[in-house]
């Protein structure tokens, strides 16, 4: 009698374990088509803190939808080069990584298409990647220029123009923290499982944070900031960026894309800290940096087409990453800069 009970318990345990294993396998197959990302690895060149595995599949349907492969450097570029040299290098965060839109809809691809269509022998390459907002890009800019040697421009994308002064100091003192990669051992292997990776993402960005978009470091508070001190530090940072670019024979372009909001009458507006925006713009001018604020372009486009530059059909309206519209408008803005430069040379 006891033997029968033991056998029944053993059979139940086996069935339970078998069911869990089958369910786990099925969940990973399902999530393979929902959110599959390569494992990121340390970037020895320092152009970025990390890059993705090269020529690796990615599928993302959690915000927008995209499917494609990373290039042979581990970044998201799918446009075939028009020559062996890079005319413009784009640096930026997950907005410029653009894993939320199809590979042929991101700003870099569209910009290359515009240049090629108008017979400009100018190739644009992007090393935009998640967790690399403006300050991290400024920290990495020299390494990026050493590795990729753009002939004309280095573009830095930013969703913010107001930064924490301590973080600026870290960039200037070369103590700004790096993003770690865990691509070795059991952790590296577990990241290959889409279901486990999605659970981890939901815990970090769903339960522990209110917003999954990494904008930049924390902003200053008007009540506590010493504007004179802040302006000096920001000027030192922008001067450093400009001098590094000049050292390697190119010019800096900073593209700022603010969030467009809608009121109860569906009228669009932007909440901008005017003091910081004016300061940032003026310091860019002082340091020979081209600054482009996408605000007017975004608002004009909404009035004409009723399309916002951020957000997707499977997320909140106007929130999150740049969408097809946002990428198209930035591509057009950058095209105007490059085309003007080409015409000046001619």
**Over the stretch 194-250, which tens digit does the pLDDT of each residue have?**
655 666 555 555 544 433 444 444 455 555 678 899 999 999 999 999 999 999 999
User: Cα 74–78–83 angle (5° rounding)?
Assistant: 100
**Domain check: are 22 and 79 in the same one?**
no
**Domain check: are 67 and 178 in the same one?**
yes
Hey, what are 243's tokens? 């001098």
Most confidently modeled range among 4-13, 113-122, 266-275, 309-318: 113-122
**Domain check: are 235 and 91 in the same one?**
yes
User: Chain-wide mean pLDDT for the chain?
Assistant: 86
Higher pLDDT, 223 or 82: 82
**Domain check: are 2 and 69 in the same one?**
no
**Domain check: are 152 and 14 in the same one?**
no
Rounded Cα–Cα distance for residues 24 and 29 (Å): 9
Rounded Cα–Cα distance for residues 125 and 89 (Å): 5
**Domain check: are 132 and 252 in the same one?**
yes
The predicted model gives 304-322 an average pLDDT of 92
Rounded Cα–Cα distance for residues 202 and 277 (Å): 34
Looking at residue 216, its pLDDT comes to: 42
Rounded Cα–Cα distance for residues 289 and 285 (Å): 6
Report yes or no: 270 and 257 within 8 Å, Cβ to Cβ.
Answer: no
* Choice among 17-26, 224-233, 336-345 with the minimum mean pLDDT: 17-26
Report yes or no: 253 and 154 within 8 Å, Cβ to Cβ.
Answer: yes
Structure confidence at residue 136 as a pLDDT band (50, 70, 90): very high
**Domain check: are 89 and 54 in the same one?**
yes
Give the residue among 278, 274, 327 at the shortest CA–CA distance from 301.
327
Rounded Cα–Cα distance for residues 53 and 200 (Å): 20
Domain that holds residue 85: 35-345
Looking at residue 215, its pLDDT comes to: 46
Q: Token match 């939808």: residue? A: 65
Rounded Cα–Cα distance for residues 213 and 205 (Å): 9
**Domain check: are 1 and 118 in the same one?**
no
**Total domain count for the chain?**
2
Residue 193: is its pLDDT beyond 90? Answer: no
Q: What is the pLDDT of residues 28-81, one digit of tens each?
A: 566 666 678 888 899 999 999 999 999 999 999 889 999 999 999 999 999 988
Hey, what are 265's tokens? 């009458």
Residue 134: is its pLDDT beyond 80? Answer: yes
**Domain check: are 25 and 106 in the same one?**
no
Read off the CATH number of the domain in which 321 is found: 3.40.50.1110
User: Cα 311–314–320 angle (5° rounding)?
Assistant: 30
The predicted model gives 328-342 an average pLDDT of 96
**Domain check: are 71 and 19 in the same one?**
no
Q: Check: pTM over 0.85? Answer yes or no.
A: yes
The predicted model gives 277-283 an average pLDDT of 97
**Domain check: are 27 and 80 in the same one?**
no
Looking at residue 244, its pLDDT comes to: 98
Higher pLDDT, 344 or 301: 301
Share of residues in the chain with pLDDT > 90 (%) = 64
User: Cα 44–102–83 angle (5° rounding)?
Assistant: 60
Report yes or no: 298 and 259 within 8 Å, Cβ to Cβ.
Answer: no
**Domain check: are 27 and 42 in the same one?**
no
Per-residue 3-state assignment (H helix, E strand, C coil) for 67-130: EEECCCCCCCCCCCCCCCCCCEEEECCHHHHCCCCCHHHCHHHHHHHHHHHCCCCCCEEECCCC
Paired strand residues for 207: none
Report yes or no: 125 and 77 within 8 Å, Cβ to Cβ.
Answer: yes
Rounded Cα–Cα distance for residues 137 and 260 (Å): 24
């Amino acid at each position: 009698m006891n033997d029968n009970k033991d056998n029944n318990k053993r059979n139940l345990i086996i069935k339970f374990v078998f069911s869990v294993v089958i369910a786990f396998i099925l969940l990973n197959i399902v999530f393979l088509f929902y959110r599959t990302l390569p494992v990121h690895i340390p970037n020895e060149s320092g152009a970025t803190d990390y890059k993705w595995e090269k020529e690796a599949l990615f599928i993302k349907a959690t915000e927008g939808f995209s499917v494609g492969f990373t290039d042979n450097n581990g970044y998201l570029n799918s446009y075939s080069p028009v020559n062996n040299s890079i005319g413009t290098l784009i640096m930026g965060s997950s907005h410029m990584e653009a894993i939320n839109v199809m590979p042929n809809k991101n700003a870099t691809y569209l910009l290359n298409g515009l240049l090629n269509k108008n017979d400009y022998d100018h190739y644009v390459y992007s090393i935009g990647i998640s967790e690399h907002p403006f300050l991290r890009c400024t920290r990495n800019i020299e390494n990026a220029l050493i590795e990729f040697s753009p002939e004309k421009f280095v573009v830095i994308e930013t969703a913010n123009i107001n930064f924490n002064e301590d973080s600026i100091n870290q960039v200037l003192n070369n103590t700004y923290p790096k993003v770690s990669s865990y691509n070795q051992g059991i952790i590296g292997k577990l990241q290959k499982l889409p279901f486990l990776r999605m659970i981890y993402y939901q815990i970090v960005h769903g339960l522990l944070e209110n917003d999954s978009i990494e904008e930049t470091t924390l902003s200053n508070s008007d009540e506590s900031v010493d504007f004179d001190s802040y302006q000096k530090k920001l000027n030192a940072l922008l001067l450093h960026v400009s001098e590094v670019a000049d050292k390697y024979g190119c010019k800096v372009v900073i593209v700022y894309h603010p969030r467009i909001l809608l009121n109860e009458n569906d009228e669009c507006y932007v909440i901008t800290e005017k003091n910081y925006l004016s300061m940032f713009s003026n310091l860019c001018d002082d340091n020979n940096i081209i600054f482009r604020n996408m605000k007017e372009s975004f608002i004009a486009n909404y009035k004409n087409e009723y399309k916002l530059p951020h957000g997707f059909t499977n997320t909140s309206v106007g929130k999150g990453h740049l969408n097809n519209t946002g990428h198209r408008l930035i591509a057009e803005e950058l095209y105007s800069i490059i085309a003007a430069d080409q015409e000046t040379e001619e």
